[in-house]
């Protein structure tokens, strides 16, 4: 008897752009896991498709544009009848989760958090108010209430950072049965790849990377320009920084100042190539959440980095950082120049990055546990949901309120 092919529906916040952001790369990692295990995948999104989006259809994935506040999504669901629905970020679950629960009640609902948005927001607010961040700040954040409610409504939420796992279980008291730690899923770096890395003498310049639609990246570049870079240039008169990233705003391009060695490069078609050619990666992130793809990419390219505690969070665990972690602009600048000019420290940092990638983020280490977890929850879904009474209660009230608000908006749009 022919076995039924399981069907996965991914509802995306945007169409994935793996060459533009870590979030896009992460989504493609998740898609590849399901694809390798024989799932039939449909990707739907209400966003406008970008020219830089991955060609999903070329990868054998069905695509479907959808609308928010539209019963057309209900018809789409009823025809597709997915076995698993994965929401890309909590705001997508808010828009579509109740519809999935109503029209496909037997479908496993997964939330891919990407990172904790409420954590990023609370840290940003602390920076703007010129004070230290405290986890107590999260209790006063409206987004925290919405995000935790979304996690509780879903059957399983994917958490990318160990710090965020601990924050959810200890601070928000979320039951571990609703969470699954799934960091970046990377292939190991072998010796042949290491031998292709440019050497200390073959590299030049500092580099920083980031999608500039992401507020932490815009802030980091501004902080670099005004606070860190002048301190580096006072030590290295001819130092040069190349700033790469998709979607630079006018605010970012206005920072371009070649006379000061500060070059805004914008999008690059080959991020790996430019990171490999640089000597030191700078990532002075003052706020943020999740795992920082730019720093992982630097490790994969053998490029040591200087970042902040927020930038390093969740990446190195108990291991040393492959470069330096510093807080103030003076500390960051001093550490950057020291790393840039010290061959032995630089080469040690390079090997440390190699060790972090190969021991902490191997795809083969996390993929089996992830697929087993999905299978186990699917087979025990009714029992799993009974254990999560709070989530059932939240879904009941969401369906009783959001449903009618959405239907009112839909009716209003038809007028």
Contact 41, 31 (CB under 8 A): yes
Q: Which CATH number fits domain 7-185+363-414: 3.30.720.210, 3.20.20.140, 1.10.10.410, 3.40.50.2000?
A: 3.40.50.2000
CA distance 307 to 216: 13
C-alpha distance from residue 19 to each of 23, 26, 113, 188, 271 (Å): 10, 11, 20, 20, 8
Q: What percentage of the chain carries pLDDT values higher than 90?
A: 88
Asked if 7-185+363-414 and 191-360 have one fold, the answer is: yes
DSSP letters for 355-415:
HHHHHH-BHHHHHHHHHHHHHHHHHTHHHHHHH-HHHHHHHHHHHHHHHHHHHHHHHHHH-
Q: Is the pLDDT of residue 306 over 70?
A: yes
Tokens 């579509």 identify what position? 96
What residues have CB less than 8 Å from 337, skipping those under 6 apart?
Answer: 232, 235, 236, 239
* pLDDT band at residue 1 using 50, 70 and 90 as cut-offs: very low
Say if CB 16 and CB 10 are below 8 A apart: no
Copy the structure tokens of residue 282: 């700078």
The domain segmentation of the chain, as residue ranges, is 7-185+363-414, 191-360
149-181 pLDDT tens trace: 999 999 999 999 999 999 999 999 999 999 999
The mean pLDDT of the chain is: 94
User: Could you tell me the pTM of the whole model?
Assistant: 0.92
Strand partners, 281: 207, 305
Domain at 191-360: CATH code: 3.40.50.2000
Q: What does the angle CA 293 – CA 297 – CA 300 come to, to the nearest 5 degrees?
A: 145
Compute φ and ψ for 12, nearest 5 degrees: -95, 145
Q: 413 pLDDT band (50/70/90 cuts)? A: low
**Alpha helices (H) in 191-315, listed in sequence order:** 191-196, 215-223, 229-235, 250-253, 271-277, 293-300, 309-312
Name residue, tokens 């989760």: 97
pLDDT band at 204 (very low <50, low <70, confident <90, very high): very high
For 19-48, what is each residue's pLDDT tens digit? 888 899 999 999 999 999 999 999 999 999
CA–CA separation, 203 vs 134, rounded Å?
40
Per-position DSSP letters for 275-291, written without gaps between them: HHH-SEEEE--SS--S-
Number of helical H runs and strand E runs in the chain: 18, 13
Average pLDDT over residues 263-287: 96
Q: Is the pLDDT of residue 414 over 90?
A: no
């Amino acid at each position: 008897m022919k076995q039924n092919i399981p069907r996965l529906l991914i509802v995306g916040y945007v169409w994935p752009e793996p060459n533009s952001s870590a979030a896009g790369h992460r989504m493609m990692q998740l898609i590849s896991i399901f694809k390798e295990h024989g799932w039939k995948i449909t990707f739907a999104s209400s966003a406008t498709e970008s020219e830089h989006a991955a060609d999903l259809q070329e990868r054998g994935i069905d695509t479907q544009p959808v609308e928010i506040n539209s019963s057309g999504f209900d018809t789409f669901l009823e025809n597709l009848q997915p076995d698993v629905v994965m929401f890309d970020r909590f705001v997508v679950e808010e828009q579509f989760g109740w519809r999935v629960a109503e029209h496909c009640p037997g479908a496993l609902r997964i939330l891919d958090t990407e990172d904790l948005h409420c954590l990023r927001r609370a840290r940003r607010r602390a920076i703007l108010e010129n004070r230290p961040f405290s986890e107590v700040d999260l209790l006063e954040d409206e987004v925290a209430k919405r995000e935790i409610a979304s996690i509780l409504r879903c059957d399983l939420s994917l958490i990318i950072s160990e710090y965020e796992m601990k924050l959810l279980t200890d601070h928000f008291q979320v039951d571990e049965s609703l969470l699954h730690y799934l960091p970046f899923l990377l292939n190991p770096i072998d010796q042949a790849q290491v031998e292709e890395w440019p050497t200390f003498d073959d590299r030049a310049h500092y580099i920083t990377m980031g999608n500039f639609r992401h507020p932490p990246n815009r802030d980091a570049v501004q902080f670099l320009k005004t606070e860190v870079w002048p301190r580096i240039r006072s030590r290295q008169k001819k130092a040069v920084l190349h700033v790469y990233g998709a979607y630079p705003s006018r605010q970012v391009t206005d920072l371009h100042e070649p006379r000061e060695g500060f070059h805004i490069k914008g999008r690059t078609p080959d991020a790996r190539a430019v990171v490999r050619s640089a000597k030191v990666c700078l990532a002075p992130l003052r706020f943020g959440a999740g795992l920082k793809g730019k720093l992982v990419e630097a490790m994969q390219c053998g490029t040591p980095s200087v970042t902040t505690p927020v930038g390093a969070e969740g990446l190195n665990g108990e291991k040393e950082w492959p470069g330096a972690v510093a807080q103030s602009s003076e500390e960051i600048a001093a550490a950057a120049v020291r790393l840039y000019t010290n061959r032995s420290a630089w080469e040690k940092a390079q090997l440390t990055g190699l060790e972090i990638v190969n021991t902490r983020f191997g795809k083969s280490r996390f993929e089996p546990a992830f697929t087993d977890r999905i299978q186990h929850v699917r087979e025990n879904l009714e029992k799993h949901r009974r254990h999560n009474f709070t989530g059932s209660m939240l879904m009941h009230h969401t369906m009783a309120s959001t449903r009618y608000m959405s239907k009112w908006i839909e009716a209003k749009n038809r007028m």
